[in-house]
Structure 1
Amino acid sequence: MRVHVRTAGPDDELDIRRIIDAAMLDPGDVEARIDNEDVLVAGDRRGVTDEFAETPETSERERILGAIVLVPHTDERGAHISAVAVRNRHRNRGIGRELVTRALERERRLTARFDADVRPFYEALEFAIEPVDDRRYRGVVARSDAEIDG
């Protein structure tokens, strides 16, 4: 499945809330994060009209399959991952990875706090991980311009 990642708009709020609620995450004020362009969504183009095609297909709305909510760091560059979630049926297809990768390209540095059960996800994304307690961890990953461009 091919997905594309873009900055979320106000029309995406309900889909984002449903995805995040289903994952039982609490990212704070999602509406404010959307207004500040700090939310990215991954969607598929199945059913979306291509205005440049000779014979446009159906004009159904894009399906939002995942979202990442970021909170910019105030004292340093980068952002904190407040939540990253993918619809249950679409997990394990690289959508979460694509969301984090795109957020990292944009922010250059990301931090996260997470439970032990999602540690393998962050390890695979090369986060430097340290324990907070027996069940929680925090991680940091950064990319230089050369790594992203080259």
Structure 2
Amino acid sequence: MTVRPATFDEHLSVMRIVDGAMLEADANEVKKRIEAGTVLVAEEEGRILGTGVLEPRDSGAHIDAIAVLRARRAQGIGRELVETAGERYGRLTAEFESTVRPFYESLGFDIESVEGNEGRLRGTLEREH
């Protein structure tokens, strides 16, 4: 499996994976992020298995979405996407539902509740890059 920046031609595949994970992402914003090189894809034998939509920040990047094809979940693909993002940006932040807390905890994120938004969590991961 290879993790690399998405190409413009992969926009539809990226959106299908994000939609399949029931995550919200604006298609035009994702296009802009692909053009900027801040959308990652995990591929194997030419097939996209997962994607990470990132927003660069002054001190690292924010993960807007990590999504993996349903049939390929729990196989380390999401982990590879986050680890590659960490290598590129160093510091990562994410906001997510409590149901995916174990995923982010397993990656070493420091997690706290989002004030005023029950069930939402915020995580931070510091990596050297």
Q: Given the two structures, how large is their TM-score scaled by the length of structure 1?
A: 0.81
Q: Match of 1:21?
A: 19
What SS is found at the alignment partner of 1:97? helix
Q: Match of 1:98?
A: 80
Q: Match of 2:120?
A: 136
Structure 1 spans left out of the alignment, 5+ residues: 46-61, 146-150
Q: Given the two structures, how large is their TM-score scaled by the length of structure 2?
A: 0.94
Structure 2 spans left out of the alignment, 5+ residues: none
CA contact (8 A) 2:87 2:128 kept: no
Q: Match of 1:41?
A: 41
Q: Match of 1:109?
A: 91
What RMSD in Å do the two structures reach over aligned CA positions? 0.9
Alpha-carbon distance, 1:134 to partner: 2.9
| Percent identical residues | 50
What SS is found at the alignment partner of 2:118? coil
My pick for the range that moved more, 21-30 or 7-16, is 21-30
My pick for the range that moved more, 79-88 or 27-36, is 27-36
Q: Which runs of 4+ in 1 moved over 2 A?
A: none
Query: Which has more radius of gyration?
Result: 1
Q: Which structure has the highest strand share of the two?
A: 2
What SS is found at the alignment partner of 2:40? strand
Can you list the C-alpha shifts for 1:95-144, whole angstroms capped at 9, x where unaligned? 00000000000000100000000000000000010011430100000112
